[in-house]
Amino acid sequence: MSLYNPIWEATSEPTQSNVRHWLDSMYTRFQPIEQARWNQSNIDSLFYAGNQSFVNRFFNFSPGYSYQQYYFNLIQQPVNMITGYQRQHRKQIIYVPTEGADSETTDQYSSLIADVCQREGIHEQFSRSCEYSAIAGMNLMQPYLDYSSDDPAQGNLKVKVWEYNSFIVDPFFREPDMSDAQFVWCQEYISKGEAIERFEHKKGEIESMSGSPQRYGNFYFLPENYNMARNNLLVLSYVWYKSKRKRKKLYSRKWHQFFDFAEENAELDLILKGITDLEVVEIMVPTWKVAVVLNDLLMFNGNNPLGFDSCPFIPTFWNYDPHIAQYDLRVRSMVRPMRDPQFLFNYKVIVNNDITAATINAGWKRKSGAVANEDNLKKTGQGFDIVINEGYEMQDVEKILPSGVPESDMALAQQMADLIYNVSGINMENWSGQQDKQISSLTALIKQAANLLVFQKYFDQWDYALKLLGEKILMIILHNWNAQKVQLILGQEPSPHFFSMIFAKFKVLVEEGLMTPTQRNLHAQQLLDINTTFQREVFPPSMIVKDMNIHGRNEAVEYLQQQEHQAQVIQSEQMNLQHAFEEMKMKELLAKINNQLSQARERDSRSASNVGLFEERISEISKNHAISTREKMDALTKLLETIQKFGEVETFLRSNQLDSIKLDEEEMETQARADIEKDEMSKNFVNQIFGSMGQQAQNPSQNSNMGL
């Protein structure tokens, strides 16, 4: 909150009867404080322009009138280096969704603002505001709708920059967005014709006004106050002040929270019907009102015509320290610390020039009558002899040597020149190191960022000012433009939540884009560095050339795109052929596998049949053993009968003969079984040999390699 009580009562507002007293009271109370800022900013602007006469008069330095005509300005270069960097690296406004909002709506916001900023030159106005803050300390930006352009119905969105000498602001505000300020008084000069065009409803009263009486020109640092031929100019004042008004909002008893909404939103009834917890309530909210005064005539007094309640101004400053008690030090520019070394440098250069010009730097000194022909002393070139008269010595005629400026004075002048850059924070050695063409773009960015580290505070402040500007611009669009105009700019219909302040929640970001030739060239160089780093074509040439600052860029991009398309077609055909070849090789490999599986199954079936045949033979052998056993039983029976009949000795002899016959048969069976097993082993060995020979025949290249 502000640290003072407003000069007006909370229940009173300016009217035609009290507006003059209202303005005079405000001016009397706050002009002495603002005068300190005006005065210092004026001196800064004069130094930047090269005029140091004020300081010469202040220090009673100039001995003569001609002494003030020489100004050697070194301040412009460091200021222009910073503002030039800002212009080369302009940032764009981006909206991102918050609180569950949809990204489609915020993307449309970003596209719409990008188009408006490019078309209406808003980025250029912002750069001018940054430049003025570096020169004079602080200025104000105000977005507005211009109805005098090609759209008198809904207006074109533009930004007005109020210079340091065109406004009085609450000197006790402390927030960087001026949210705690109580008033802002802006003033400008317009002609009668322009005044009648703006306020046609009071044409008669305007025609009778006198041209710019002195009592209304309170802002005496404005250049119109020094124009003696300003008889037809009128003083127009815009006094913005804090107040309150009733406003409708949506309230949720369940969440105990208020929500903004557009009162002309056609979907409000559907929202209230779908969300039964929401209800429309009317509450008092803080707002900014404006009183428009032409000379001493009140032309308008009421709420912000653009529809929103927040502060309509965005401050852009270099150094703003409201906690400092001295008013002339609260607002400081980049020029402020460079003024003293600039003045001393200018002084030293002039003094050194006077030292050189105050002495005789050419001619001869001689005794009277020492030279026979003195006219030869005045001549230059070759072929003139100087004859010494008799009775005089050579030392009686001497050449006058030019006097030089002492080395200490030259060193002091150079020291003052170096101090101008040192106190500004610019290191020229580091800046000049960026001219090395052998370093990559990434290295250049790192070095540049290191050099600008001392100025990061000011670039962050400017980014914050651009963020506030993006919020104000979008609020103006949502309150004053309709869906048809938005659709015409975007080329598509706005999303369902575009104009809804309930669901279209967003936050504003500022990021460096590709809006300047320097940014595009740097982007192209970064793409080239990426391709070099990965040693392959990560980005095609058409993507790189489109951002280069070359003649015939569009034709080059089209030509490169055609080449890339042809290369893609050729590559696609090669890939198709490769795929077909790989498919044929796969099919051939599958066929070989199937053939080998068939051969394996055949070998397996043959092995099974051999095993069956072997089992059949074994069963026959068992059968033969059974028959043999039965025959042995019969033989034993006959043996017993024989023993009884022929005797025991003879019987045993016959029995031994039978046993020997049995052993012979068993040996024959064992030999037959061994012969069968050897035959199976020989067949398997032959099959393995033939199989390996077939594989060698199918892989001749492999066999040749093995042979090598």
Determine the distance from the C-alpha atom of residue 20 to the mean position of all C-alpha atoms in its chain, rounded to a whole number: 49
Going by pLDDT thresholds of 50, 70 and 90, the confidence category of residue 231 is low
Q: 241 forms bridges with which residues in the sheet?
A: 183, 289
The pTM score is 0.68
How much is the pLDDT for 50?
85
Return the number of other C-beta atoms located less than 10 Å from residue 373's C-beta: 11
Nearest to 186 by CA among 169, 198, 211: 169
Lowest mean pLDDT of 240-244, 663-667, 701-705, name the range: 701-705
Q: What is the DSSP string of 666-690?
A: HHHHHHHHHHHHHHHHHHHHHHHHH
The string of pLDDT tens digits covering residues 60-111 is: 555 444 444 678 888 998 999 899 888 888 888 888 887 666 778 888 888 8
Which residue would you say has higher pLDDT here, 586 or 134? Answer: 134
How much is the pLDDT for 701?
44
CB 490 within 8 A of CB 477: no
Which residue would you say has higher pLDDT here, 514 or 156? Answer: 156
The string of pLDDT tens digits covering residues 159-187 is: 999 999 999 999 889 998 998 999 999 99
Tokens 């900023």 belong to which residue? 117
Residue 18 pLDDT > 90, yes or no?
A: no
Q: Which two tokens stand for residue 166?
A: 């065109």
Tokens 């150094």 belong to which residue? 319
300 phi, psi to nearest 5 deg:
-160, 145
Q: What are the C-alpha distances in Å from 177 to residues 323, 427, 585, 663, 699?
A: 16, 32, 73, 123, 83
Return the number of other C-beta atoms located less than 10 Å from residue 358's C-beta: 9
Average pLDDT over residues 113-133: 92
Nearest to 147 by CA among 208, 200, 204: 200
337 phi, psi to nearest 5 deg:
-70, -15
Nearest to 305 by CA among 281, 287, 284, 283: 287
Nearest to 670 by CA among 681, 678, 658, 682: 678
Rg (C-alpha) for the chain, rounded Å, is: 52
What lies within 8 Å, CB to CB, of 366 at 6+ separation is: 374, 377, 396, 397, 398
Nearest to 542 by CA among 529, 556, 528, 527: 556
Tokens 């505000």 belong to which residue? 173
How much is the pLDDT for 3?
37
Residue 1 pLDDT > 70, yes or no?
A: no
How much is the pLDDT for 2?
40
Q: Which two tokens stand for residue 290?
A: 């404006």
How much is the pLDDT for 448?
65
Q: What are the C-alpha distances in Å from 366 to residues 279, 390, 395, 400?
A: 108, 14, 8, 10
Residue 273 pLDDT > 70, yes or no?
A: no
How much is the pLDDT for 128?
95
How much is the pLDDT for 650?
62
Q: Which two tokens stand for residue 519?
A: 């940014």
Q: How many whole angstroms separate alpha carbon 143 and alpha carbon 157?
A: 7
Q: Which two tokens stand for residue 493?
A: 């219909």
The string of pLDDT tens digits covering residues 489-526 is: 888 888 877 877 666 666 677 665 555 666 566 666 66
Average pLDDT over residues 324-353: 87
Return the number of other C-beta atoms located less than 10 Å from residue 381's C-beta: 5
Q: Which two tokens stand for residue 407?
A: 């080395």
Q: What is the DSSP string of 635-657?
A: HHHHHHHHHHHH-HHHHHHHHHH
How much is the pLDDT for 563?
77
Q: How many whole angstroms separate alpha carbon 80 and alpha carbon 66?
A: 29
Helix (H), strand (E) at residue 331: strand 331-332
Q: How many whole angstroms separate alpha carbon 626 and alpha carbon 630?
A: 6
Average pLDDT over residues 244-270: 72
Q: How many whole angstroms separate alpha carbon 186 and alpha carbon 139?
A: 11
Q: Which two tokens stand for residue 204?
A: 């008669």
The string of pLDDT tens digits covering residues 432-468 is: 445 555 566 556 666 666 677 888 899 999 999 999 9
Q: How many whole angstroms separate alpha carbon 560 and alpha carbon 554?
A: 10
Helix, strand, coil share (%) of the chain residues, nearest 5: 55, 15, 30
Residues comprising the chain, all counted: 708
Nearest to 313 by CA among 240, 381, 374: 240
What lies within 8 Å, CB to CB, of 703 at 6+ separation is: 696
CB 133 within 8 A of CB 45: no
Residue 10 pLDDT > 50, yes or no?
A: no
How much is the pLDDT for 248?
80
CB 61 within 8 A of CB 83: no
3-class DSSP state for residue 537? Answer: coil
Which range has the top average pLDDT, 74-78, 162-166, 189-193, 577-581? 162-166
Mean pLDDT value across the chain = 77
Lowest mean pLDDT of 235-239, 254-258, 337-341, 661-665, name the range: 661-665
How much is the pLDDT for 144?
94
Tokens 């001609």 belong to which residue? 66
Lowest mean pLDDT of 2-16, 187-201, 316-330, name the range: 2-16
What percentage of the chain has pLDDT greater than the value 90?
Answer: 17
Alpha helices, H only, 535-647: 541-545, 553-646
Q: At what angle do helices 407-424 and 339-357 cross, to 10 degrees?
A: 160
Q: How many whole angstroms separate alpha carbon 262 and alpha carbon 268?
A: 8
CB 313 within 8 A of CB 178: yes
3-class DSSP state for residue 254? Answer: coil
Average pLDDT over residues 390-416: 73
Which residue would you say has higher pLDDT here, 108 or 406? Answer: 108
Q: Which two tokens stand for residue 34?
A: 């603002």
Q: How many whole angstroms separate alpha carbon 304 and alpha carbon 310?
A: 9
How much is the pLDDT for 404?
62
Residue 6 pLDDT > 60, yes or no?
A: no
How much is the pLDDT for 65?
44
530 phi, psi to nearest 5 deg:
-65, -45
| Terminal alpha carbon distance of the chain | 95
Residue 216 pLDDT > 80, yes or no?
A: no
Nearest to 26 by CA among 179, 214, 239, 215: 239
Secondary structure of 258-302 in HEC code, one letter for each residue: EECCCCCCCCHHHHHHHCCCEEEEEEEEEEEEEEEEECCEEEEEE
Q: Which two tokens stand for residue 250?
A: 């949506």
Which residue would you say has higher pLDDT here, 652 or 319? Answer: 319
How much is the pLDDT for 462?
93
Q: 398 forms bridges with which residues in the sheet?
A: 365
The string of pLDDT tens digits covering residues 107-119 is: 888 889 989 988 9
Return the number of other C-beta atoms located less than 10 Å from residue 189's C-beta: 22
Residue 612 pLDDT > 70, yes or no?
A: no
CB 74 within 8 A of CB 420: yes
CB 18 within 8 A of CB 308: no
Q: How many whole angstroms separate alpha carbon 458 and alpha carbon 683?
A: 95
